[in-house]
Structure 1
Amino acid sequence: MKISKILYKPVGFGVGALSGMAASAVFGQVWKRLGRDDEAPSPTDEQRGWGEVLLAAALQGAIFAVVKASVERGGATATRRFTGAWPD
């Protein structure tokens, strides 16, 4: 196994957890700026309609995917700078 891959794994786990927290905070701010309630609806919230629940889920998924890809790409780039090899 390549050294770059070995070094990248523990860093990737830690950064992944942080990126999840960051994505959650970003989603919360975006949801508030859309003029919605302070909290996004839960899928089981009887008081919210299908449209609002699905909009929140789609928006949250998109934000998480972009943050995750950005963080992973940044981590791989940093690993290459540190080790000289791209983590496969």
Structure 2
Amino acid sequence: MNASKAAYKPVGLALGAVSGAMAGMVFKQVWKVIGHDQDAPDATDKDRSWKEVLIAATLQGAIFAGVKAAVDRGGAATVHRLTGTWPGSSR
């Protein structure tokens, strides 16, 4: 493992936590706009339809993946700018 990759490990973990929190906030705002209630349904909500539960879960997953990718990519690009080495790259 090269020095850049090792140095990025704790940064990547911190960015993962930040991206999860950001994704949760984004999802809540999106659900307020498109959903019927303030809170998204849980899979075990008896009073919610299958359709609503599956749409909420799919949307939440897509938002999480997009935010995580954007934050991870930004972190890697910043490390590259600072060190000249792309984290995770063997070159």
Give the TM-score range, shorter chain: over 0.9
Aligned to 1:86: 86
Aligned to 1:22: 22
Residues 34-62 of structure 1, C-alpha deviations (whole Å, 9 max, x = no match): 14210000000000000000000000000
Residues 2-55 of structure 1, C-alpha deviations (whole Å, 9 max, x = no match): 111011100000111011000000000000011421000000000000000000
Matches within 5 A, 1:30-41: 30-41=30-41
- The gaps in structure 2 that reach 5 residues or longer are none
- The gaps in structure 1 that reach 5 residues or longer are none
User: Which stretch shifts more, 17-26 or 1-10?
Assistant: 1-10
Q: Which secondary structure state, in structure 1, belongs to the residue aligned with residue 41 of structure 2? A: coil
In structure 1, distance between residues paired with 2:66 and 2:35 = 22
Runs of 4+ aligned structure 1 residues displaced above 2 Å come to none
Aligned length: 88
Aligned to 2:74: 74
Question: Aligned letter for 1:18?
Answer: V
| Paired-residue identity, % | 59
Aligned to 2:52: 52
Shift of 1:82: 1.2
